[in-house]
Structure formats: structure tokens, C-alpha cells
Amino acid sequence: VAASQQAGSVAGATQAPDSLVHTADQVPGADVRCLLLDLRSVASVQAFAEQFGRLGLPLSCLVCNAGINSDSQDRKRQLTEDGFDELFQANFLGHFLLVKLLVKQLREGAPSRVFQVSSVAHRSAPAALDWEACRERREPFRSLYGASKLAQIHFARELHARLAADGVASHAYNPGGVRSDIWRNSGGLMRLAATALMQSPDAAAAGLEAAILAPELQTQIKSAAQSLRTAEGPRLETLQ
């Protein structure tokens, strides 16, 4: 989701326009637009960035939330048309390219924020990422989900180091377990656990909304991990 403070504009990068209909219902009078984007395709990311650029809007907030898990990945094909692991490209490489192509608009929208929605699963990845693994088919199959989330955190830190002086703050956000549609292709036991133990998408969104609107996160990152809570939202962890 990309938001501009100019005239209350919201542009959604999505394959599910229903979410933008919901936004329009919740914020009457907002200028809500849907631009289709497939993060598993370099061409699609480039086309989206060009479309957004033609809108002529500064960019106040960019939330990199899209992703798939290993149960949703095509384990036979594994690689995209661009030659990258499907999951790794959807979760990290696509977002990396998207942010890179929108840096001009982020600077124009300063003070602006970029949120990488990560996961505690980053702890399952080796500290030294194997960048070659994302270009190879793996037999037997081995998921790169944890690696993709660790890469997001590294990216959030480096992006802040490079753009903070221009008024662009970069954050990594861990929403906690969410019973979202990401589990649709998982086994019955996993889906049952998600339903019983994980928070609703609305509760997770409330925590992210609190982070987006928090004044202390709009201009700078704290040097240490910081926690915020809302009445119905989860913990927010901000990483330098």
C-alpha cells in the first residue's frame, strides 16, 4: 500500500482490489486507486512504478506487506520467469526493486516511512545469507521463507542508513502470527492452529496502523527495539 498526504490519496499495489473498496468505505472522500502488481515479476514491478510515477504524487508511506509461504510455492517449478526463487522474489526481491524505483517519490513525500513487514521466522535463516540459493532449484526442496524475512530486515536497516538524511525513515515490522489467507494451502493441522492461536488480520492491521501514525516513527528510527501497543493491536518492533 502506498499513501500520499496530497489530497488524501491512497494507491494500492494489489491483486485483490476488494481491499481498496474497503478502504474507500472506511475513509469517505479519499482518493483511492488500484494499480495491479505481481511482485514475482520484474516487469510487473517496473510497470507499477511507472504507473505510480505518472500519477505525479509524492509518497508518504510505503508498506511492503505482500508475500507467500512455502506451502503456497510451486515446488516443482520453484523459479520465476526472471530466474529467481518464487517465494524469495515475492517476499523480498520484488519489494527491494519496488522501493528502489520509488525513492524519488519517497524523498518528495518526506517525512516519509517505509515498512518491511517481516516475521519471527527470520531467526530460522543462517546469519550469512546464501544469495546464490535464490537462483537455484533445490532438490530436495528447502524453503527460503526465513531467509526472505531476514533479507527484509537487512534491507530496512540499510535503507534507513542511506535515506534517513533525506527524511525517509525505514522500519522492519513484525506483526506476530496472523490467521490470514497465507495459510490457505497449508495442511489441516496448520490451518486449525492458525484459527485457534493467531490474531485476526484486523488486529494485525491495527498494530501496523499505530506504527504508521506514530509521530516518533515518522522521522527517525530508535536505536533500540521499541514496543508499542494498541487496545486491539499486536506488538510493534522497530529495528535500527
Average pLDDT per 10 consecutive residues for the chain, totaling 240 residues: 51 59 76 88 97 93 86 78 94 96 96 90 77 78 84 94 94 77 66 70 81 76 36 37
Beta strand pairing call for 2-4 and 61-64: antiparallel
Amino acid 221: pLDDT:
47
Q: Which residues are identified as catalytic?
A: 145
Q: Where are the alpha helices (DSSP H) in the chain?
A: 18-26, 42-54, 86-88, 94-101, 103-108, 145-163, 188-197, 201-213
Instruction: Please state, in angstroms and rounded to a whole number, the distance separating the CA atoms of residues 156 and 138.
Output: 27
Beta strand pairing call for 168-173 and 31-36: unpaired
Amino acid 229: pLDDT:
34
Amino acid 216: pLDDT:
79
Closest CA to 149 of 129, 135, 169: 129
Instruction: Please state, in angstroms and rounded to a whole number, the distance separating the CA atoms of residues 149 and 152.
Output: 5
Amino acid 108: pLDDT:
95
Amino acid 123: pLDDT:
76
Evaluate whether 151 touches 145 at the Cβ level (below 8 Å).
Answer: no
Describe the strand order of the beta sheet including 168-173 as a list of residue ranges. Answer: 31-36, 9-14, 2-4, 61-64, 112-117, 168-173
Q: In DSSP terms, which residues pair with 34 in a beta bridge? A: 12
Length of the chain: 240
Instruction: Please state, in angstroms and rounded to a whole number, the distance separating the CA atoms of residues 125 and 155.
Output: 15
